[in-house]
Structure 1
């Protein structure tokens, strides 16, 4: 006999008991007969004008150590994602960017890029390569997460990143998935690069190296296999 799972699939936390969708069936036939004689109609309220709740009152569920009656500063979005609004073209279209500048970088050029001074703690003025309005909107949206506690933050992360729900299955790194997609689109430029004459740049069972640089709460291992060999890389922060 399978044991009942009382934990959420999103974040592994205990989940609230589900209310029966057909809660009317939990009442006895005699009680329903008495209510029918008194004028009760199915899917209508108990009031004189058929007003009133159709579902049982849900008990208040306390979230952590928050005070009773505390209102969350971060409002939960009521919008639901509609997959039909996203247009996905397969295979995807792409275009190359041409760099007309010289690729020769000298040691003096690298030294000129070094800036000495106090550490910079903000990025609100880093708009050299992007629009300042876009940057400010992103930072404003990101600051909403500061109002969430640890439990709410884990739930939000689980909903936004489906890879977090894999758990004991084989781990998929998002950067590796994106890289594999680019590889398949661009004639396997990563896993099977070739010279202009068409010959392969790789030897048999040569390892594929790549760097996944991003912010994470903990280090994770990414495994990539080619042929009979498997390379394991660890990200360091």
Structure 2
């Protein structure tokens, strides 16, 4: 033990003479003084031979759930070589570079057949450099291989910090696919939601619907964006795998889904690789569009194989089937959007060339919300982005500080509100009726309605003074109770009928769908289809007149215009 005088001397200040007239004073803490008493000198290590460590203990470099001491040399190299200045200018300018098809003639069948080559199936991608600079594919694959040493959780965490556009996320929509369409539609002069013909005129006549198809696209982000822009004035046809990859129409919060029709082919599974399914889907779409086809088709098919080198090989059959469907259902002058990964092989490039010869213009575009490094229009940019992602996975302190600024900039440019995704406010039928008409009931409408019994020509001449003042509609039967009347929709199947001064919700047997904020006059009827023993009966809803369609007031429009 130390004596009291020793303890006293430990807390004393001592003078440090550095040659100045006023020597500096500093304190020695208890630990230092105690160690010096046993022979410790500054700058030397501990121990009898003063061979202990002198440098401070390093902060742990353990990364997540990696094994203790496990390191990846390529990752450490990516972090040490990371230079933020190289990435400051890698912001997409969104300048479309269209390639025009100036060929006046079509490709003959003989030539097409001569182009076909059969050979062994390609199992792995190597240095496929016929359509890019030699060595570039190898560098891309090497950069992807580096990330294969990291867990999926760590890659996602690194990407959230590395991607300058990551904070855009899905905004008000179901998923990020919707934001890709929002980006492309805005940059390409609304060519999807407001299409033009070859002369620059509106391709959709006044009162007509916009027809589109969403193929291999569950849960339906592309379609939700279209309905956000067009509301009930668009009609969509969906074709995708059932079950876990199905469309989630009840989750369409940014736009109505009542005019979207999923179809799964004759086999009922939505498999685009099945010829019968494809043929039945094509027949269905053409029948619904009066054999004209859709204005545009979106194909978002893919596999959960991000960062895999054989991604392009696995998806080539999917590319082909989606292109075949587009060639069948897209009308002349229409558009086709196809999601692609890397384009190194003869097969992928050849397919793109056939699409080029089938359309007037073609464009390969990288939407801003398509994550960097997944695939790029320019392969060298993909290598740069992969190296950046590797650096961010290795160093958790790195973060791209432009995310919030770019989120606001992009949403403003694309016309998407910068707000949280939220379900529509729930309301009761009386409040909805008051919101639309100014009253909670339709009593005023009922009092203005009157029955006119026409028994002979004299009565007809007396009541109908001008045939131009009247419109005739055939009803199923006046004696059927509660079939015709006013119907109001609160969205989807939540439909109410106005009966005897009150609103009554329709039963499940009578269910059909109408966009929210719709008020029409119509009747529910029972129709038959087929002949003989195969004849089937089903309920149908006939709209006779309308007041509001999806919140749009049509009361003051001409009757013929309302009915169209």
Is the counterpart of residue 181 in structure 1 residue 183 in structure 2?
A: yes
> Match of 2:210, SS?
coil
Give the counterpart of 1:116 among 107, 110, 118: 118
Is the counterpart of residue 86 in structure 1 residue 89 in structure 2?
A: yes
Q: Which residue of 1 aligns with 2:70?
A: 70
Instruction: Name the structure with the higher helix share.
Output: 2
The 5-angstrom pairing of residues 1-237 of structure 1 reads 37-38=27-28, 48=42, 53=56, 58=59, 61=62, 63-64=64-65, 66=67, 68-76=68-76, 77-78=79-80, 79=82, 81=84, 85-86=88-89, 93-102=95-104, 104-161=106-163, 163=166, 166=169, 170-173=173-176, 176-202=178-204, 204-209=208-213, 221-222=220-221, 223-224=224-225, 225=227, 226-229=229-232, 231=236, 234=240, 235-237=300-302
> Match of 2:193, SS?
coil
- The two structures have a TM-score, normalised by structure 2, of 0.27
Distance 2:131 2:144 in 1: 19
CA offsets 1:63-89 (integer angstroms, 9 cap, x no match): 4361x3232344242536459932769
Instruction: Name the structure with the higher strand share.
Output: 2
Aligned residues: 188
Distance 2:63 2:138 in 1: 34
Shift of 1:101: 3.6
For structure 2, the residue ranges without an aligned partner over 5 or more in a row are: 1-10, 13-25, 31-40, 44-53, 241-299, 303-564
The range that moved more, 147-156 or 134-143, is: 147-156
For structure 1, the residue ranges without an aligned partner over 5 or more in a row are: 1-32, 41-46, 214-218
User: Is contact 2:62-2:69 (8 Å) kept?
Assistant: no
Shift of 1:108: 3.8
Sort the Cα spacing of 1:195 and 1:148 in 2 relative to 1 into closer, same or farther, 3 A: same
User: Is contact 2:64-2:154 (8 Å) kept?
Assistant: no
Sort the Cα spacing of 1:85 and 1:61 in 2 relative to 1 into closer, same or farther, 3 A: closer
> Match of 2:75, SS?
coil
Shift of 1:120: 0.3
User: Is contact 1:74-1:148 (8 Å) kept?
Assistant: no
Distance 2:190 2:146 in 1: 40
